[in-house]
Amino acid sequence: MTVHSFQEHFDSLIDREISIEPKDWMPDDYRKTLIRQISQHAHSEIIGMLPEGNWITRAPSLRRKAVLLAKVQDEAGHGLYLYSAAETLGISRDEMYDQLHTGKAKYSSIFNYPTLTWADMGAIGWLVDGAAIMNQVPLCRTSYGPYARAMVRVCKEESFHQRQGFEIMLTLSKGSEVQRKMAQDALNRWWWPSLMMFGPPDAESPNTESSVRWRIKRFTNDELRQKFVDVTVEQAKVLGLEIPDKDLKWNEERGHYDFGKINWAEFYNVIKGNGPCNKQRLDARRKAWEDGKWVRDAAMAHAAKRKERSATKAA
């Protein structure tokens, strides 16, 4: 086949919604876009362990502690499948870590905000995992097979996480005055960063067009953001909490909620590294990696010695 016919074959698979598999020919840009997106997603899972991990040792009940620990462990698991999915595109996990540690690769900006009270465990589950699900459910049908399959499993677990987050918020909102205050404070801090999770407005989103063509993306940033607002406003009513947006109101004509202007200057600054916890999060990951070097070296050395010994035995 000529390059031209490779491209035609690829396009026809895409058009017929047949998944692309690791051994299939694919355009370089497709491969690059996927590596960028999947590794960014994997990094987000790994960095995302930190803000919630921050409350494991302080969880208010043994049951909550066990659920939180299991949840953060799920995130490590998601990171693992996603790194594996990205590896099928010809990049190693170590290379991806290196991109994260040197600041070359991005991760979801939301994790650069601090977790200040227990209610943040509720707000993260409810809002951040809720927003993540909106972003991720369409990816279960994305064109690249290994990514789509990883996402099926990720989404199942995320929806459990979202429910447990909402349940924490519900318990707080039915609790004492200080607990309701804690819940409202967490909503106030996490609301706007959650809306930013869908990325810049469509007009300013450079990657949207080709990603939609390749079914790496199935809805635009603004479409997903609107869907999130519509769903979440109703959930906040159930909790008896107030969304911190004075411009929020139902628009009968559009059949959607109108909402206030997002502070994009803050969004771009947090991406650039000026968020409250950017340095702290990356430092924690780098430290884990550097402190673990002698452990990984030892494991490799031992494996090599074992191999050598069994070869000697066999001979």
Partner 1 sequence: MSLEYTLRLADDALILGHRLSEWCGHGPILEQDIALTNTSLDHLGRARSLFQYAAEQFNNLPEDEKKTAVTSVAIQNLVNTGSGLDEDDMAFLRDGWDFRNVLLVEQPNNDWAYTVARALYYDAFAFYFFSALQNSKDITLAAIAEKSLKEVTYHLRWSSEWVVRLGDGTEESHERMQTALDELWSFTGELFSMSDAEKEAAQSGIGVDLASLQPKWMERIASVLQEATLDVPKGTWMQEGGKHGRHTEHLGYVLAEMQFMQRTYPGMEW
**Applying CB under 8 A, which residues contact partner 1?**
46, 49-50, 53, 56-66, 69-70, 72-73, 76-77, 79-80, 83, 118, 168, 171-172, 174-176, 178-179, 284, 287-289, 291-302, 305
Contact, 16 vs 143, CB < 8 A? no
Q: How far is the CB of 293 from partner 1 (least distance, A)?
A: 8
CA dist., res. 210 & res. 34, Å (int): 11
Q: Which two tokens stand for residue 57?
A: 């040792």
Q: How far is the CB of 305 from partner 1 (least distance, A)?
A: 6
Pick between residue 19 and residue 179 the one whose CB is nearest to partner 1. 179
Pick between residue 249 and residue 305 the one whose CB is nearest to partner 1. 305
Pick between residue 231 and residue 288 the one whose CB is nearest to partner 1. 288
CA dist., res. 215 & res. 247, Å (int): 34
The H helix count followed by the E strand count for the chain is 13, 2
Q: Which two tokens stand for residue 125?
A: 């589950």
Q: Which two tokens stand for residue 138?
A: 């369409």
Q: Which two tokens stand for residue 227?
A: 């869907």
Quick check: helix, strand or coil at residue 241?
A: coil
Q: How far is the CB of 66 from partner 1 (least distance, A)?
A: 5
Pick between residue 216 and residue 239 the one whose CB is nearest to partner 1. 239
Q: How far is the CB of 281 from partner 1 (least distance, A)?
A: 10
CA dist., res. 121 & res. 239, Å (int): 15
Contact, 181 vs 171, CB < 8 A? no
Q: How far is the CB of 235 from partner 1 (least distance, A)?
A: 20
Pick between residue 20 and residue 49 the one whose CB is nearest to partner 1. 49
